[in-house]
Chains A and B, each alone.
Chain A
């Protein structure tokens, strides 16, 4: 797999009414790489992530998965999504299911795993996100941090090759942010390919291999965390960072 491109976007644009959410965006995500996408609200971070797993279909542009161009056929989309996990800002756990049922649902319904198999997977993942012992808990009784950790486990249960995180800590109390970031950090160390839209600059700096700064639907600048944070080339990047880092 070395050197192989996991995902490549080429000149992708997406418009919502009069708003150009993505403007000719090109981006490579290499296997094992942690790419952080930063930028002000409305800069297109979410749309970029959602175009990768086709929750939004771009108006134009191409996407390559392992050098094969992705075309939006129905089966391909479902297969693509099993390989690309997504973690949402507001968790989106299934409230009618228990913690472990949330994790088991997709492996059983999509991968057709047996109950024994899916249970084994779920327990292993719950241990990984530090939620073992809460299998039967009702989703409504979890804290925000716990919910997000379960949501991460739910995505991992499909054994994706890439994980997308759409501002995973933005809906959390500051106290709970760290427990989620710790899980993500461990995941990054294990070599998971990750694309993270986040405002947690300390995390971005510590965990990302590459930082992409977006503004008004465009990638303004990308590079090493140290380069972006310490000596950004673009004035816009400098302005954003000076405001957010204060």
Chain B
């Protein structure tokens, strides 16, 4: 009966045990939270920050996906001017801490160009500018992983560079780097906490306010941490499902 044994062994190996552990710990924490008056109050206040965090992260991520794609295409372009421009942007943006970019965009760039002083807009802009550079390098790695012969085959059929890129190279490149892109989505969720520095009322900022109000730092940041973890784990599961569905 080796077949049955193998099947069981396979099942045993593939089961997401880590998720069970997370669920047990999560359930314990949530249970203790929900039975405590103070925790409920803190949770109630912080949950309003969660929606802001989600909104900022996804808006900035979506924008960064577009900026990154444009930069990556510039990076692999044969045009010297475009190529250098993209490289310059990527190196500069990657070399400045995200927190500094956020402060810079809100307090320096915004006023100079007379943009509105809404910190949420500044925050989304800064995060997408910074992450655009990271994502550009992810895309580029994907594009360069596609074999030269694929482009030649596409071009030999009469496709323009643009069509070959869009119909042949990018679909393969994106599939290859999907895990890395998912990774950066999770990183973005965490880094969105940096916009608390310009007084955006997202999860971390609300945590600071709540901690200052209640003087209960332990309780407040327990809730903050659990909420971030819930967000990132959820995204991680979504990314995994997406990866599986895109696999041929």
**A→B interface (CB under 8 Å):** 53, 55, 78-79, 81-82, 84-86, 88, 90, 92-96, 105-106, 109-110, 138, 140, 151, 154-155, 158
Contact = CB atoms under 8 A, between A and B. Distances in A.
Contact of A88 (B152, B163, B167): B152
Given A82-B158, A88-B156, A95-B172, 17 more contacts: A78-B158, A78-B159, A81-B156, A82-B157, A84-B156, A93-B153, A94-B150, A94-B172, A96-B175, A105-B157, A105-B167, A105-B168, A106-B158, A140-B248, A151-B153, A154-B157, A155-B156
Given A95-B172, A96-B248, A110 B150 contact: no
Interface string B173-190: 001000000000000000
B172 A88 contact: no
- The main secondary structure of chain B at its interface with chain A is helix
Interface of B: 147, 149-150, 152-160, 163, 167-168, 171-172, 175, 248
Contacts of B154: 94, 106
B150 A155 contact: no
Nearest to B164: A109
Given A105-B167, A109-B163, A138-B248, A92 B158 contact: no
B172 A110 contact: no
Contact of B159 (A85, A90, A93, A109): A109
Contacts of B248: 95-96, 138, 140
A33 B21 CA distance: 71
A155 B157 contact: yes
Contacts of B167: 105, 109
Contact of A106 (B149, B152, B159): B159
- The main secondary structure of chain A at its interface with chain B is mixed
B153 A94 contact: yes
B42 to A, nearest CB: 48
B168 A94 contact: yes
B157 A106 contact: yes
B153 A92 contact: yes
Contacts of A84: 156
A139 to B, nearest CB: 9
B248 to A, nearest CB: 6
A202 B230 CA distance: 67
A230 to B, nearest CB: 35
A96 B171 contact: yes
Contacts of B163: 109-110
A181 to B, nearest CB: 21
Contacts of B153: 86, 88, 92-94, 151
B10 to A, nearest CB: 22
A67 B245 CA distance: 52
Contacts of B157: 81-82, 85, 105-106, 110, 154-155, 158
A107 B156 CA distance: 13
17 contacts: A53-B156, A78-B159, A79-B158, A81-B158, A88-B153, A90-B149, A92-B153, A93-B153, A94-B150, A96-B171, A96-B172, A96-B175, A105-B157, A110-B157, A110-B159, A151-B153, A154-B157
Nearest to A111: B158
Nearest to A53: B156
B159 A92 contact: no
A120 to B, nearest CB: 18
A88 B149 CA distance: 9
A119 B218 CA distance: 65
A84 B125 CA distance: 48
A104 to B, nearest CB: 11
Query: Can you list the 5 inter-chain pairs with the closest CB atoms, starting with the nearest?
Result: A82-B158, A92-B153, A106-B157, A86-B156, A81-B158
A96 B158 CA distance: 19
B169 to A, nearest CB: 10
